[in-house]
Structure 1
Amino acid sequence: MTELWISNSYAKINLGLNVLEKLENGYHTIETGFVFIEWSDRFEVKPGRMHLEMSDPKIPVDESNLIVKAIRLLQQEAGLKDEYNIKVEKNIPAGAGLGGGSSNAATTLRMMNKVANLGLSQEDLLRLGKQLGADVPFFIKGVPGFATGLGDEIEPLDLQPDAWMVTVYPNMESSTAEAYQFCEPNPEPDFSLKNVLLDEAPEEWRYLLMNDLEKAVFPRHHLVGNLKDQFYEFGAEYASMSGSGSSVFGIFEQDFVAINAYESFHKLGFPANLTRPKFKPDQGIYLKEG
């Protein structure tokens, strides 16, 4: 029987996002809260000719794919020699501000380390992950956190809301580069983002917690802003765009209000996800007889 390894690769959302400064190299310093949602891709890995198969044919499987980049990095720096067949059932939308590509890269590093017995420590994985993307280390750690710098300096903090979350994808991608190009950095935000997340209830966030990229994205993609308004009409305590968009999420105190919003967005034709209070991602890597 062939060994078959499976694992899930979970998405994130941003609770607030302050763009503080534009650096000379074109990057921006930010601060944001990272938490997990139950939207996930499913990985299946088995020995065989090195081959990547994605369930979404629109996603390239060439050297531009972060999964392929993670494999190449392990071959160059961690002595990965064996070949594997990697099959990914894609559920997390691309270009959605949910970190799907970074999550996939992190899952690839973690799975290959275990499946191929590479013997890498978590510190090794974090170092490699940072080379693939600023938020890849967050997905390797698998715990909520407060991110600063380029989004790559992450302090683990229990920010996961004790509330229901609904996340909606508006069937269109948002360009991260465009969002940052048109945003105006503010080095001195009105409120401490970390303090708001730690000390204030979600019903207060509406007045205190901002995503600075909304001002750049909403005028160019009206649907994204309309979805945020729709969340409040459905009874959300707080609603926001995630990251640079295009996904929008809402936080709900009561389960039946959240479920009604989730089902309503589905009926309108939007992919959506419902996340339970205090959700924790399962980072297990499981062996099945394939």
Structure 2
Amino acid sequence: MACSAHLLSQSLYSSHRASPAAPRNLRSQARPPARASPAASPGSSAGGCRGASLRVAASFEQGRRQVEVSYDPQAKFNQIADQIDKDAGMTRLNLFSPCKINVFLRITGKRPDGFHDLASLFHVISLGDTIKFSLSPSRSRDRLSTNVPGVPVDESNLIIKALNLYRQKTGTDNFFWIHLDKKVPTGAGLGGGSSNAATALWAANQFAGCIASEKDLQEWSGEIGSDIPFFFSRGAAYCTGRGEIVEDIPNPLLENLPLVLIKPPEACSTAEVYKRFRLEQASKADPLTLLKEITQNGISQDVCVNDLEPPAFEVLPSLKRLKKRIIAASRDDYNAVFMSGSGSTIVGIGSPDPPAFVYDDDDYKDVFVSEACFLTRDENEWYREPISSKAAFSKDDLPASVID
């Protein structure tokens, strides 16, 4: 399977494009993105001149000849850097790691293995993390750092599990230094950790020369998490089984349909939510009927069914009050208001703006609020962060924590 040519635009050298606040790059900011040739190795630059390092201008006026010589050191630096990239192959890569929402989530039964069968419309949205991968020169272990304390960075982290899984499946021996810039809150029902794992598998495959297919990555990923295979869809999928059976939806939701995400500081334990779930209390709606209604007529409150809302509201009663307040204050601004996954994020579809009480009421001063939109990807390309994507934590930026 051929490596995607867009990788160049997602390399460390081009990371300033994902956010206006990114540190200034050593390379020329005005320089156009490279186009990879079929012979170019992953992460390398295509052949050809990127910009002249010496400019000569000549003119003739009244019999006199004028010659202007201008030396451009930045262009020369770019040429040298491109040659280094070409010779060394891929050594670093920046990728966007988006999260998801469950537009509807039906729990249809309990399995002999203790898991529950579900039927759900998953959709990727534009809120996400950024993960920077660099090849480790030691080739002995992975090293993970993150900007948010409390995120596990040891062997229990799904990124590390994904990299171990890739090496196990392929026999490759690449190890990495990884920095996770976390924007998706944990315990939110948004699949942030699952997305990180899928992104790590994708990255490892790019460094290895794309020796595994997307289908391989999707199948392998189910061994370490039920939600991970979904992220190898095109961005919208009908998921069944434990969530690992993924069927792409040919007509995804409109990417210009705005969303708002509102999450209280309290998280919902997925295990505790499922422990309180009662199958007899679940919705009787046919999930295929819900899917047909959404794909044909769009989103409405009636189709955004989540069978995990009642047990989640038992675990976290304040979450039920938050949903009710959002609906009461919305004045029909939202097509639907519902909980994603096992909580604790409440999603409003149809407007990017939260109700005023979220900002005005002291009881909600610590909530996480983010606007978002639906997101898809093309085959053999990873997800890209929209330029307008915005997220806001309820507290100031936190210091980085690094584990060697």
TM-score range, shorter chain: 0.7 to 0.9
Deviations 1:178-204 (A, max 9, x none): 1111112258823432223223442xx
**Correspondence 1:219 to 2:314:** yes
Within 5 Å, give how 1:1-150 maps onto structure 2. 3-48=91-136, 49=138, 50-117=142-209, 119-150=211-242
Residue number in structure 2 paired with 1:280: 376
Distance 1:246 1:284 in 2: 24
Tell me which amino acid in the other structure corresponds to 1:41: D
Describe the SS at the equivalent of 1:179. Answer: helix
1:261 to 349, 354, 363: 354
Cα contact 2:103–2:120 (8 A) shared by 1: yes
Report if the CA contact (8 A) 2:308-2:341 is conserved.
yes
Structure with greater contact order relative to length (CA < 8 Å, sep ≥ 6): 1
Runs of 4+ in 1 over 6 A off after TM superposition: none
Q: Percent identity?
A: 29
Asked if the contact 2:260–2:353 (Cα under 8 Å) also holds between the matched residues in 1, the reply is: no
In 2, Cα distance between the equivalents of 1:140 and 1:88?
20
- Structure 2 counterpart of 1:189: 284
How far did 1:272 drift? 1.8
Contact persistence 1:265–1:271 (CA under 8 A): no
The answer for the alignment partner of 2:22 in structure 1 is none
Q: Take 1:168 and 1:13, find their aligned partners in 2: how far apart are those partners? A: 12
Do structure 1's residue 176 and structure 2's residue 270 form an aligned pair? yes
1:248 is the counterpart of 2:356: no
Q: How far apart, in 1, do the equivalents of 2:359 and 2:210 lie? A: 42
CA contact (8 A) 1:38 1:273 kept: no
Does the residue aligned with 2:274 lie in a helix, a strand or coil? helix
Deviations 1:215-250 (A, max 9, x none): 101122122112222332223220111010011101
Alpha-carbon shift at residue 206 of structure 1 (Å): 1.7
* SS of corresponding position for 2:148: coil
1:71 CA displacement: 1.2
Whole-Å Cα distance in 2 between the matches of residues 279 and 127 of structure 1? Answer: 22
Amino acid in structure 1 at the alignment position of 2:334: A
Aligned CA RMSD, in angstroms, stands at 2.3
SS in structure 1 opposite 2:354? helix
Contact 1:12 1:36 in 2 (8 A): yes
Structure 2 residues without counterparts, runs of 5 or longer: 1-80, 86-90, 385-404
> Helix, strand or coil for the counterpart of 2:353?
helix
Once the two structures are overlaid, the 10-residue window that deviates more, 15-24 or 221-230, is 221-230
* 1:237 alignment partner in structure 2: 335
- Structure 2 residue identity aligned to 1:227: L
- TM-score, normalised via structure 1 length: 0.87
Contact 1:159 1:197 in 2 (8 A): no
- Distance in 1 (alpha carbons) for counterparts of 2:229 and 2:149: 27
The 1-side partners of 2:203 and 2:273 are apart by 33
Structure 1 residue 152, shift from structure 2 partner: 1.3
CA shift in 2, pair 1:262/1:103, >3 Å: farther
Q: Give the conservation status (yes or no) of the 8 Å contact 2:233–2:246.
A: no
The answer to whether the 8 Å contact 1:32/1:193 transfers is no
8 A Cα contact 1:80 1:118, kept in partner: no
- Secondary structure in structure 2 of the residue aligned to 1:189: coil
For residues 197 and 181 of structure 1, the distance between their equivalents in structure 2, rounded to whole angstroms, comes to 30
The answer for the alignment partner of 1:288 in structure 2 is none
- 2:244 matched residue in structure 1: 152
SS of the residue aligned with 1:219? helix
Secondary structure in structure 1 of the residue aligned to 2:307: coil
Structure 1 residue matching 2:152: 3-state secondary structure = coil
Larger radius of gyration: 2
Q: Which amino acid aligns with 1:47?
A: L
Whole-angstrom distance in 2 between the partners of 1:36 and 1:264: 28
Give the drift of 1:87. Answer: 0.7
Superposed CA deviations along residues 32-64 of structure 1, whole A, max 9, x for unmatched, are 110122111001111224311121120111111
